[in-house]
Structure 1
Amino acid sequence: MGQKVLIIGSGAREHAVAYSLLKGDSIDDVYCSPGNPGMERDGIHTSQLAQTNHAALIDFVRENNIDWVFVGPEVPLMEGIVDGFADAGIKAFGPDKAAAQIEGSKDFAKRLMERHSIPTAKYQTFEDLERAEQYVQDQGAPIVIKADGLAAGKGVTVAMSVEEAIAALEDIFVDHRFGLAGAKVVIEEYLEGQEFSLMSFVRGAEFWPMPISQDHKRAYDGDEGPNTGGMGAYSPVPRIGQDIVDEAIETIVKPTAQAMVDEGVPFTGILYAGLIATEDGPKVIEYNARFGDPETEVVLPRLSSDLGAGISALLDGGQPEFSWDADGATLGVVLASEGYPVNTVTGAPIPEIDVDEDSHVYYAGVATSEENPKQLLASSGRVLLVESSAPTIKEAQDKVYGIIDGLDTTGMFYRHDIGAKAL
């Protein structure tokens, strides 16, 4: 008998995790809470339970004989959902509340790196506008302004001028654009280089790295427009050599996992390191305490082993096996609602998308139409991601755009240059 798993979350990342679990032999049923109606097309069960309702989720696990839980998004992790499951005797894969601070507080992460000599940008933390402005004046631009807490990937400004930096500080301190997330600000030096994402399965001091990927954060072609949660990604990253990846594992991933153990907040789950390859070697831009989105949708298709068996082994104290396709490439492009991320206009009808066995559609912000339950409508900023696997990035790119360019995407938009930096 295969296992039953509950995934917390509703986006394309959770869809990709669920789809990957169902491909293996060890998992028979995947429930996603709350999930989205697009996932149901892949045989994933959805429940309408909110990810904030911990008591109802615990009841659901017991009533449905769920073997273990996978937590997708950052907010329930910060709210201590894994602690709640642990107290109820339920196995959940993800960091507890104390360990999730590595994403929940930029200041916590920076101090951790400082204490353990993990390479990152020089920084200062401020709690009032005047001192922060003075620091910006003294340092000059370019400079990076980050709201301390969670801001859904949108609380970072790479300011190319002092004026832009001060406007970003006023956004945070005066207009409270990020609410409590902006009660503190981390100001960092600007680093030059290629960015890449390195995710790892972690259990205490042990870790199992995944292939690297690169995300495209800006809304429009040519890296123009506002920062988003991510408009597309690809894997591998040809401009980042294996020597740089090995150095990042040795100087960043390994000491980070060990530092959390040493400080009494051991991390179990997916540790995401957002890195930049500088002239002085790889440095940390940010940590996330979970799978990145959209990176997950291009990294997990490269997994050749059974994801469910691997996570089960991690949870049970065994030795997991994770193997990856060494050859080939994956590329994914996000379809987003018009106006995202500033003034999102939802409701666009989603066309039927035909894909072959080397491509897949991962749904995110979708709802069913009341008139026609088979018709999906865009219900939030990022609507879906189309992913293709091919022998090369160029072929994967051609394949994805071959699918998307033929669709009626009225009311939605997408970038036409995902993967261009690799070519």
Structure 2
Amino acid sequence: MKILVVGSGAREDAICKSLLKNSDNVVFCAPGNDGMKMAGIKTIAINEDDFDHLTKFVQTNNVDYTVVGPEEPLVNGIVDFFKRKKLRIFGPNKIGAQIEGSKSFTKKLMADAKIPTADYQEFTDLKQAHEYLKTKVSFPIVIKADGLAAGKGVYIVRILDDALEIVSELLDGHKFNTRKIVIEEFLEGEEFSLMAFVDHKRFYPMPLAQDYKKIFEDDKGPNTGGMGAVCPVANISSEIEQTAIETVLRPFVNELYQQGIKYTGIIYAGLILTKTGIKVIEFNARFGDPETEVVLPRLESDLSEMIDKILNHKKIVQVEWQTTGLNLGVFAVSKGYPQKPIFGNLGDKEIFKNCPLPVNYAAVRKEDHKLYSNGGRIYLIQTSASNLTDAQRIIYQQLDQMDQTNIFYRRDIGKNSI
């Protein structure tokens, strides 16, 4: 098959490489990045929001179907655009993508489906939000931008003054183009991620993963798009996993269908195991990042055939996953990330070509045989091992050999999976 993957990050790199496990496939990535190109992925210089040129490329090159990686084109209606031109595309339509595009939309869905989540209030008015913070809440709390914010629109706030400032930035300064916020209770417990392939009422869960969003060790500092991930999650039992599937994933998929949303694509559930049980932190409308980089390498079934069957609404009899060991991925990010990333030289490209471990490229550009950072999260190095200790030793030995001038990484990824 000929397949187009839309996006440019490490997640899309991982999707492409999983599709290329079938050597008969030809895989394009638009726009991709220079690291992917160096790794042999066919990148196409079309932006992910240029729906017209993307569809023309698909038609001209007889692409069998398209896979959408990032959330923004999904929320902006890329699937609807492709379908109007009778082109096959894997992802939810614009209405379905609102599970990520609008926190309030998803909270209402969860209430209808009786799925447990944090108590919350919505605000569009700054004065009302400030009054609520001053009189109605006990800290810590969570403040969320209602729309897309590239993984950075969630704040855990411990004091009133900080809360007032953040709400002002969002509702008055319109940071992340925010017009509505959600203020919700702070949940304590063990976080984990559950993703699934979805075909209307049918769904196929993936192994649990755990990502690390805070910039510093011991989960300190501001949220990022994700500093690394591990799969599976050793300290979440198979019983808890099954409970999550039956009390969160199944009712959510059913609710979407009952409300007339025929969802096709990936559903990502960000979950937390609290003292009173599993609760939902968020739903996303696509593969998680960086979870995808550690989950898809464990897939033994043919990803391209699975997606083809889902697009044809044919039942997948069985999905095969690796059942031993674990996969660990750690992001190298630009110094200064997430507030003010400093871009710079990453070293000679041969360092990456000779790297013995799988590398998923994100914000990378090539110039004069050297690679340079071109954003906050630069590349993820991934490994598999029989246990966490070995995986951490392997991956940090390799990261420590990379040029350290302009990169930073957490040294405790996987710490919860002991």
CA offsets 1:159-192 (integer angstroms, 9 cap, x no match): 122222222111212222222xx21111111111
Q: For 1:86, which of 75, 83, 87 is the aligned residue?
A: 83
1:145 is matched with which residue?
143
Moved runs in structure 1, 4+ residues, more than 3 A? 353-356
Residue 339, structure 1, aligned to residue 327, structure 2? no
Residue 219, structure 1, aligned to residue 194, structure 2? no
**Contact 2:345–2:370 (Cα < 8 Å) also in 1:** no
1:52 is matched with which residue?
49
**Contact 1:146–1:155 (Cα < 8 Å) also in 2:** yes
State the alpha-carbon separation in 1 of the partners of residues 323 and 7 from structure 2.
30
Q: For 2:10, which of 4, 12, 34 is the aligned residue?
A: 12
**Contact 2:193–2:270 (Cα < 8 Å) also in 1:** yes
State the alpha-carbon separation in 1 of the partners of residues 113 and 72 from structure 2.
26
2:346 is matched with which residue?
349
CA offsets 1:234-291 (integer angstroms, 9 cap, x no match): 1111111111111110011001111111111121101000000111211110011000
1:310 is matched with which residue?
306
2:366 is matched with which residue?
368
State the alpha-carbon separation in 1 of the partners of residues 92 and 64 from structure 2.
18
State the alpha-carbon separation in 1 of the partners of residues 345 and 228 from structure 2.
20
Structure 1 counterpart of 2:38, which letter?
A: R
Q: Name which of structure 1's ranges 35-44 and 321-330 shifts more when overlaid on structure 2.
A: 35-44
Which residues in structure 2 correspond to 1:7-406 (within 5 Å)?
7-25=5-23, 27-137=24-134, 138-179=136-177, 182-320=178-316, 321-351=318-348, 352-353=351-352, 354-356=354-356, 359-369=357-367, 372=368, 374-406=369-401
State the alpha-carbon separation in 1 of the partners of residues 293 and 91 from structure 2.
18
1:155: Cα distance to partner? 0.7
CA offsets 1:338-394 (integer angstroms, 9 cap, x no match): 1111111112224513443xx30000001111xx1x322111111000000111122
State the alpha-carbon separation in 2 of the partners of residues 19 and 318 from structure 1.
24
Structure 2 counterpart of 1:264, which letter?
A: G
TM-score by length of 2: 0.96
Q: Name which of structure 1's ranges 108-117 and 39-48 shifts more when overlaid on structure 2.
A: 39-48
TM-score by length of 1: 0.95
2:404 is matched with which residue?
409
**Contact 1:95–1:268 (Cα < 8 Å) also in 2:** yes
CA offsets 1:312-357 (integer angstroms, 9 cap, x no match): 111112122421111110001101111111111112224513443x
Structure 2 counterpart of 1:176, which letter?
A: H
Identity %: 47
Structure 1 counterpart of 2:78, which letter?
A: I
Q: What secondary structure, in the 3-state scheme, does the structure 2 residue paired with 1:145 have?
A: strand
Structure 2 counterpart of 1:248, which letter?
A: A
State the alpha-carbon separation in 1 of the partners of residues 170 and 2 from structure 2.
43
1:230: Cα distance to partner? 0.5
Structure 2 counterpart of 1:229, which letter?
A: G
**Number of aligned residue pairs:** 413
Q: What secondary structure, in the 3-state scheme, does the structure 1 residue paired with 2:322 have?
A: coil
Q: Which runs of 5+ in 1 are unaligned?
A: none
State the alpha-carbon separation in 1 of the partners of residues 167 and 88 from structure 2.
41
Q: What secondary structure, in the 3-state scheme, does the structure 2 residue paired with 1:243 have?
A: helix
State the alpha-carbon separation in 1 of the partners of residues 309 and 392 from structure 2.
35
Q: What secondary structure, in the 3-state scheme, does the structure 2 residue paired with 1:311 have?
A: helix
Q: What secondary structure, in the 3-state scheme, does the structure 2 residue paired with 1:19 have?
A: helix
Structure 1 counterpart of 2:335, which letter?
A: E
**Contact 1:348–1:412 (Cα < 8 Å) also in 2:** no
State the alpha-carbon separation in 2 of the partners of residues 190 and 42 from structure 1.
42
Structure 2 counterpart of 1:417, which letter?
A: D
**Contact 2:145–2:180 (Cα < 8 Å) also in 1:** yes
**Contact 1:171–1:177 (Cα < 8 Å) also in 2:** yes
